[in-house]
Structure 1
Amino acid sequence: MSAKRLKRQEIKQKLFTKSRIVLLNEETFEEIFSLKLNLMNVFVGLTSISIVMIALTTYIIAFTPLREYIPGYASTQLKREATRNAIASDSLQKVINENEAYLASIKKVLTGDLETAKLSRDSIVAPEQANAEAPELAPSKEELKLREQVALEDKYNVFEKAGPRVSQVLFAPVKGIITEKYNSRNKHFAVDISVAKDTPIKSVASGTVVFADWTPTNGNVVIMRHNDGLISVYKHAASITKDQGDTVRSGEVIALAGNTGTQSTGVHLHFELWKDGYPIDPTQFIDFE
């Protein structure tokens, strides 16, 4: 018989050899409790108890609120608040992206980086909002009849007056001689007013400065946003007295006239006026001379 086989038999004999555990009364030596065991029973019992303890601990950690008291595990309330904050942050980021796209579109339109053929009413709106198509609503028979009745009444109304496109009074930015008028055919969407150097340039209406910086082609440029979708642009200034984000009142000085930028041909103010994304002739609303 080999040594390995003898060793296995010895180990097997030790594992299955029964032992008796007896509990005796110390004074009378009366047997109170006795238990027969072997090493295999002890091993199986300890293994079973360990498996049950591991399973119970896993259940407590995974499916009960007691895991909040274990270091390293976050509470359910904290997770809910974190989820709520993440959703709020995502919404705020979306609003910020839309505002940035809005300001970038204004800058492209008013600094001449966008072709005239591509201009539309939605040219200064964020792309996500501009792509939304309006539903087609067909008028009913009653609406068509009412339109015909109103058209007949207005046809002979001698007191009817056309309303202006701009509902507010505009202040003249400078007083001077117009050297080049507004001409949409030649893509000159502005009026050029000849003035003396460092003449104060004033805001045509109350509003907010959305752009105030230097550009290579137009020099110092100021762009202001007013009420009713109105935007005014002032180019070729010698210096700027306002910063982006400033709130300006009507007639307040925002820059000084100059001759900056590669497209400037002399000391003058290049003034543009936009309404709902469309250029309009400033001389229809402002007297420059």
Structure 2
Amino acid sequence: MAKKNKEPKKITKKLLNKYRLVILNEDTFEERISFKLNRLNVFVMVTITAIVLISGTTFLIAFTPLREYIPGYSSTSLNLKATKIAATTDSLESIININQKYYKSIKKVLTGDVKTVEFDIDSAIQSQKLNPEEVDLTPSEDDIQLREEVSKEDKYSLFESEKSNSGFSLFPPVKGNITSGYNVNEKHYGIDVAVPKETPVKAASSGTVIFAEWTAETGHVIILKHNNNLLTVYKHNASLSKQQGEQVKAGEVIALAGSTGELSTGPHLHFELWRDGYPTNPTNFIDFEQ
């Protein structure tokens, strides 16, 4: 018992033993500065210094623009500028292609291959300025009849029915109240589910991330490609936790819900389900209600 009591006393004594740190002039050996230290004081000072350095570095990364220089961090303004630059570049490429086609037509006239310019540059430029919202996408009578025939064939096809029922199950990405339903006439090809901000958004099924970027209108968007020619779209997220090309499993968290983008009016998830290139009402396959 005596030996056991002596060991803690020796450790305590070593920690509290006093030492003097003296800084001398090398030429004259004159004492300049001296400090009284012990092992405990040195340990405390080193620990406090490490905590201060770590806290300061964390503050600089989290709350200052310096984080934009660290790989993996980016600001919303930079993403928006990058999107605008990409759109401008795309329009400039279109104009360059139009001019090149026009010059080739003029060259054929000058070399005598043709007598008149076959390429109408004014019509080509006007087509580039066409507003997609002004285009009438109303299906014709023939188109409607064809769609009805195809839907009937799919409905009464035993092989297609069994194929769609096997291996086709979806996981609810979030649980909440549906504030806006699926409406093709209003071009609302999904549903809006109201959820608290930063609610985890989960993958509806296993698949591959084919798009994970920022858009001006719908904020942070992530799109997954699944089996059976399925696509699921998740819009207005506060942040994304997956990148393009990554594999995800059903129920795995891929984003945090938010209210990003110009078209968002509050925290919610806009969810779309596409099959064979056509939008589908997600509520036919998923129960979103709590």
Q: Give TM-score scaled by structure 1 length.
A: 0.45
Asked which structure has the greater CA Rg, the reply is 1
